[in-house]
Structure 1
Amino acid sequence: MGEYGKPIPCPDEDTAPFWEAARRHELAFQRCNHCGTYAHPPVAFCRHCHNVSHPSFEFAQISPRGKILNWTVMYDAMVQGFADEVPWVHALVSFDVQPTLNLTATLVDGDTHRLRLGAPVDIIFRDVAEGVTLPFFKLS
């Protein structure tokens, strides 16, 4: 595996299960054990059922298919390592399991002519460094 040369995530105790699932090429989000509502990024108590006395969560795998809510075409490589990829598309995607569950990631086939609101995408995973796997979107 070559030198990635871009920022990589630094998981903490709240986000580690998301990144562990990504290393397995799975998409998993925090889910409330009381009402089943997903949260991303992880939360201390559920924003849906508001159970603050006994919050209980697990990370659960979901389908890697979603729909584009919005996107940004990046023309300025403000962060080191991205200069060779300008322009690239960063997309906000919602998932069928819960329309309010969103994730942002780079669209690997950033053909801006095919982009539209609601366009279906799949998550793909790339092993970018030793022990580091990142999610990306691909138009379906």
Structure 2
Amino acid sequence: MTEYAKPVPVPDEDTAPFWEAARRHELAFQRCDHCGTYAHPPVRFCRGCHDVTEPSFGFATITPRGRIVNWTVIHDAMVQGFAGDAPWVHALVSFDDQPGLTFAATLIDGVGDGLKLGAAVEVVFKDVSRDVTLPLFKLA
């Protein structure tokens, strides 16, 4: 593993299960125990059943394949550590088996002919340190 010189996520109480799953090379999102609605980032009450009295959540793994629903090409690295990466693609991914769940991530393929709305993608995990693994996506 080479030294990773970019900022890394700092898990908190709400996001720790997501990052623990990523370290295992799994994609897991918060899921309502009442109605099964997935959410990311984690929420305090469910957007599906709107249970605010007794909200209850766990994290569940999903099939790590989806489709691009939007993207942006970043040309100006405003954060130290990313200067050599420009331009890169940050894509919004929807998942085939979890309608309504989206996740924003870096597309490692960059700008190319395959970059289009609805393009199929799959997760690729990058271990950047002993404690941090990043879920990235590539065109499938």
Could you state the TM-score of these two structures normalised by the residue count of structure 1? 0.96
1:85 shift after superposition: 1.1
Matched position secondary structure for 1:17: helix
Separation in structure 1 between the aligned mates of residue 66 and residue 47 of structure 2, nearest angstrom: 22
Matched position secondary structure for 1:14: coil
**Is the 2:23–2:127 Cα contact (8 Å) retained in structure 1?**
yes
Separation in structure 2 between the aligned mates of residue 52 and residue 71 of structure 1, nearest angstrom: 33
Within 5 Å, which residues of 2 pair with 1:42-121? 42-121=42-121
The answer as to 2:134 corresponding to 1:134 is yes
Matched position secondary structure for 2:22: helix
Q: Output the aligned Cα RMSD.
A: 0.9
Q: Mind listing any 5+ residue stretches in structure 2 that lack a counterpart?
A: none
Q: Which runs of 4+ in 1 moved over 3 A?
A: none
Separation in structure 2 between the aligned mates of residue 78 and residue 122 of structure 1, nearest angstrom: 27
Separation in structure 2 between the aligned mates of residue 19 and residue 42 of structure 1, nearest angstrom: 12
Q: Which moved more, 1:89-98 or 1:22-31?
A: 89-98
Q: Mind listing any 5+ residue stretches in structure 1 that lack a counterpart?
A: none
Could you state the TM-score of these two structures normalised by the residue count of structure 2? 0.96
- Aligned-pair identity in percent equals 71
> Which one-letter code corresponds to 1:70 in the other structure?
N
